[in-house]
Amino acid sequence: MNTRLLMMLRVKVGTPQNLGAVPLGTRRTAPLSGGSFEGARLRGTVVAGGSADWQVLRSDGVLEMDLRVTLQTDDGALISMRSFGLRHGPPEVIAAIGRGESVDPAAYYFRTTPRFVTAHPAYAFLNRIVAVATGDRRPEGPIYTVHEVL
Amino acid sequence: MQSRSLMVLRLSTTAIEEIGATPHGRLSIFPIIGGSFDGERLRGRVLAGGGDWVTAMADGTIELDLRATLQTDDGALIHLTFTGVRDDANNYFRTLPRFETASPKYAFLNRLLAVGIGEIRPDGPIHSIEEIL
């Protein structure tokens, strides 16, 4: 599989909403309070309003993530990104992340699959690709290294 | 990105059901009647009954939404779904498969994300699916 770096996306997580035990697992919604992204072809900021990560901790210990982010480029385009992801790892590593500690991202699996839609012609190439990302859960919020699948 | 080959998936489809121009685009359904998959860690056949819901978008791209049931050669059932994009103008056909199974032997599939590289052959589509490491 050939990929090319698309951007680094840093998001800031606000106060999580712990919905608790739902039929699928333990549901938590993490609204985003901001963030930024930077790559050779696009850069800008995360729009806080409609951006959040809808998470379900499954019975097998895997965290499913449904991240929806509105990106605003430095030249004013709005890009909607949706990204399904999985996070899991050794219990002690996941516990350390839960305590807000910085953990080596190689110690656990945190991968997502972003797709994009935009109406802006300069970024229309994003409508035509799929992407994969590696995540690094930092205390202030995750950093995603997003790669275009070529 | 690091990846590792998971399987090559071959699908057989039957007569297309043309739903036509919907508010989202031109929708066609490709019912799956069979197929096979083969990889180092799993192999078997595709059961009849799934399908690919294919929408031709206004920008010329084709959006895929597939569901299929895989049966391994040792009897496990695996639920496969993917979305993806086909952009013939740029020779681009990529998918994002996900798997669900209750089989302990294949439970690793529940914990991975994958990328598929698609190709249209005369006898049906082929997807080379790689696990994202």
- Asked if A18 is an interface residue toward chain B (Cβ–Cβ < 8 A), one would say no
Which residues does chain A have with pLDDT short of 50? none
- In chain B, DSSP assigns E strands to 3-13, 17-22, 25-38, 43-46, 51-56, 62-72, 77-87, 92-101, 114-121, 124-132
DSSP summary character for residue B41: S
B82 CB neighbours in chain A (<8 A) are none
**What is the rounded average pLDDT for all residues in chain B?**
96
Contact (CB<8Å) B96/A115: yes
Contact (CB<8Å) A84/B98: yes
Residue A24, SS3 per DSSP: coil
ipTM exceeds 0.90, yes or no: yes
Which residue is listed with tokens 């020779």? B91
Range of weakest confidence among A57-66, A116-125, B71-80, B116-125: B116-125
- Residue A48 confidence (pLDDT): 92
- Asked if A85 is an interface residue toward chain B (Cβ–Cβ < 8 A), one would say yes
- Kindly indicate the confidence band of residue B115, based on its pLDDT and cuts at 50, 70 and 90: very high
- Asked if B112 is an interface residue toward chain A (Cβ–Cβ < 8 A), one would say yes
- Kindly indicate the confidence band of residue B60, based on its pLDDT and cuts at 50, 70 and 90: very high
Asked if residue A8 lies in contact with residue A144, where contact means CB atoms within 8 angstroms, the answer is yes
Partners of B84 in the β-ladder? B64, B95
- Residue B122 confidence (pLDDT): 85
The Cα–Cα gap between B111 and A86 comes to 7
pTM to 2 decimals? 0.94
Distance from CA of A130 to the nearest CA of B (A): 7
Which of A19, A47, A48, A45 minimizes the C-alpha distance to A31? A48
Tally C-beta pairs within 8 A across A and B.
58
Distance from CA of B5 to the nearest CA of A (A): 9
The type of residue at A3 is T
Task: For B1-45, write each residue's pLDDT tens digit.
Answer: 899 999 999 999 998 999 999 999 999 999 999 999 999 999 999
Contact (CB<8Å) B84/A88: no
Distance from CA of A77 to the nearest CA of B (A): 18
- Residue A36 confidence (pLDDT): 98
- Residue A139 confidence (pLDDT): 86
Residue B102, SS3 per DSSP: coil
Instruction: Determine how many CB atoms are found less than 10 A away from the CB of residue A33.
Output: 16
* CA-based nearest residue in chain B for residue A89: B111
